[in-house]
Amino acid sequence: MSRTVQDVVFVDGVRTPFGKAGSALAETRADDLVVKVFREILRRNPNLPAERIDDVAVAATTQVGDQGMTLGRTASLLAGLPFTVPGYAIDRMCAGAMTAVTTLSSGIMAGAYDIALAGGVESMSRHPMGDGMDPNPRFLSERLVDTDALVMGATAENLHDRYPQLTKDRADAFAHASQMKTAKAYAEGWIQPDLVPIATRSQELGWGMLSQDESMRPETTLAGLAGLKTPFRAHGRVTAGNSSGLNDGATAALLASEAMADDLGLTKKMRMVGFAFAGVEPEFMGVGPVPSTEKALSRAGLSIDDIGLFEVNEAFAVQVLALLDHFGIPDDDPRVNPMGGAIAVGHPLASSGIRLMTYLAKDFERHPEVRYGITTMCIGLGMGGTVIWENLQTTGSRA
C-alpha cells in the first residue's frame, strides 16, 4: 500500500507568562500550567472537536513529582480532553517542546496522525535543575565528558574561550538589545495575545494574577550589565545579565496535516519544511545549533540566505553569537529575534521550543514578505535542534 507524505502546519501556539523561579508561580503545580495552556488552545480553536486529536506529547526536563506520571496523558485528562485521546511524555532537556513538535509532526507526515497537541513545561521553582538526577559516575571516571558539561554556565564560558572574538562586550550588547526589543514588542502589543494569564497563589501573599513575563528588565543599561558578577568563573564573561534566568512556565502548540486543517477550517500559520538535531562536545553545548541548522538546511535544499527570520533561544548570549558568527550574520541583524528572547522573558527549559515557534508565527504575521524562518536552540549535554518553517501568512511576495 502506497502512502503520501502529509504536510504539517502549525495551527496555533500559546504559553503562560514565564515566572521567576521562587516567585509568582512557585506554588503552582506544573501539570496545572499545562492544563491552562491546553484549555486555551481548545478555546481559541472552536472548529476543532477535541476527540479528533490523535495524540498528545508534553515535555519536561525533570520528570518527577508534578512533572512526572506521563504528562501528555495526565494533563490531557485534567484539561478535559476525552478519554479516547492518548498522550505521552518527552525529555530532550531544553529542546523538549521542540522534540514534542517534531515527533508528533513525524507521525502526521507518515499519515499516522491528522491532528496532534504538543506541550512543554518546567517549574524550576518546584524542581531545580538536576533535581533527582543520578549521573552515571562513568561519565567522569572514564572521562566520557568534561566536568563542565554538567554546568551550563561553564559551557558558555567555554564558548568564549573557544571563540575569543565573542567578547563579553558583544554578549552584553546582545543581552541589552533583547531587553529593549522585548519591551518594544510588549508596548506594541505583539506578545500579549498569545499569553494565558495565570492566577497565582502564595501562602504568604495570597492570590494574584500573572499576565506578563516576570523576568523582563526594561531598565537594563550596558553600564549595569558590565558591572555584574561572573558566577561561573572568576573574571569570566557569563553573567546573570547576558544569560536566561531560572523560570517557571508552560507552552502548547496545535499541529495538523494541511489537508485536515483545511477540512476543519483551522488557521494555518506556518508549514514545517524540515528539522534536524545534531550532537557536539557536551562541554561546548552552546554551539549545537550550528550543525543542526546546517543539517536541516541541507536536507531541505535551502541555504542560510533563504532564511528571512531567525528565532534563536537565548540560553546565553554567547551561544547565539556563535551561531551568528558562523553564518556571517551581524549581531544586530533585525531578522534575529525581532521581539527579543529568553534573556528578557525567561527560559523554562523544556517549554521554550514552542515559545520560539509562537514567536516565529508572529514574526511571519508581521513580515508577510518573508518565506522561510527557523527556530533553533542549544540543548544540554551537547546537542542542537533546528526546525525550518514556511510562512503561510503571506501577501504573495516572497523573500
Domain ranges of the chain: 8-127+245-389
pLDDT digits (tens, 9 = 90+) for 54-69: 999 999 999 999 999 9
Q: For every residue of the chain, which 3-state class applies, written as one string? A: CCCCCCCEEEEEEEECCCEECCCCCCCCCHHHHHHHHHHHHHHHCCCCCHHHCCEEEEECCCCCHHHCCCHHHHHHHHHCCCCCCCEEEECECECHHHHHHHHHHHHHHCCCCCEEEEEEEEECCCCCCCCCCCCCCHHHHCCCCCHHHHCHHHHHHHHHHHCCCCCHHHHHHHHHHHHHHHHHHHHCCCCHHHECCEEEEECCCEEEEECCCCCCCCCCCHHHHHCCCCCCCCCCCCCCCCECCCEEEEEEEEEEEHHHHHHHCCCCCEEEEEEEEEECCHHHHHHCHHHHHHHHHHHHCCCHHHEEEEEECCCEHHHHHHHHHHHCCCCCCCCECCCCCHHHHCCCHHHHHHHHHHHHHHHHHHCCCCCEEEEEEEECCCEEEEEEEEECCCCCCCC
Q: Find the mean pLDDT for residues 83-98.
A: 97
Q: Find the mean pLDDT for residues 206-234.
A: 95
**What percentage of the chain exceeds 90 in pLDDT?**
89
Cα–Cα dist 142/223, whole Å:
44
Instruction: Give the model's pLDDT for residue 1.
Output: 59
Confidence of residue 132 (pLDDT cuts 50, 70, 90): confident
pLDDT > 60? residue 301: yes
CA 15 to chain centre: 11
Q: Strands 19-20, 247-257: parallel, antiparallel or unpaired by DSSP?
A: antiparallel
Instruction: Give the model's pLDDT for residue 144.
Output: 83
pLDDT digits (tens, 9 = 90+) for 275-294: 999 999 999 999 999 999 99
Q: Which of the pair, 3 or 257, is modelled with greater confidence?
A: 257
pLDDT > 50? residue 398: no
Cα–Cα dist 28/198, whole Å:
9
Q: Find the mean pLDDT for residues 72-87.
A: 97
Cα–Cα dist 131/127, whole Å:
6
Annotation: CATH topology of 8-127+245-389? Peroxisomal Thiolase; Chain A, domain 1 (3.40.47)
pLDDT > 50? residue 189: yes
Cα–Cα dist 153/130, whole Å:
14
Closest CA to 57 of 67, 72, 68, 70: 72
pLDDT > 70? residue 165: yes
Which string of b and e fits 340-365 if b means at least 16 CB within 10 Å?
bbbbbbbbbbbbbbbbbbbbbbbbbe
User: pTM above the 0.75 mark?
Assistant: yes
Cα–Cα dist 240/231, whole Å:
8
Instruction: Give the model's pLDDT for residue 35.
Output: 98
Q: Find the mean pLDDT for residues 220-228.
A: 97
Instruction: Give the model's pLDDT for residue 397.
Output: 42
- Scan for cell 524540515, then name that residue: 274
Closest CA to 101 of 393, 377, 342: 377
pLDDT digits (tens, 9 = 90+) for 341-397: 999 999 999 999 999 999 999 999 999 999 999 999 999 999 999 999 999 998 554
Active site residues: 94, 347, 378
Q: Find the mean pLDDT for residues 239-256.
A: 97
Instruction: Give the model's pLDDT for residue 2.
Output: 64
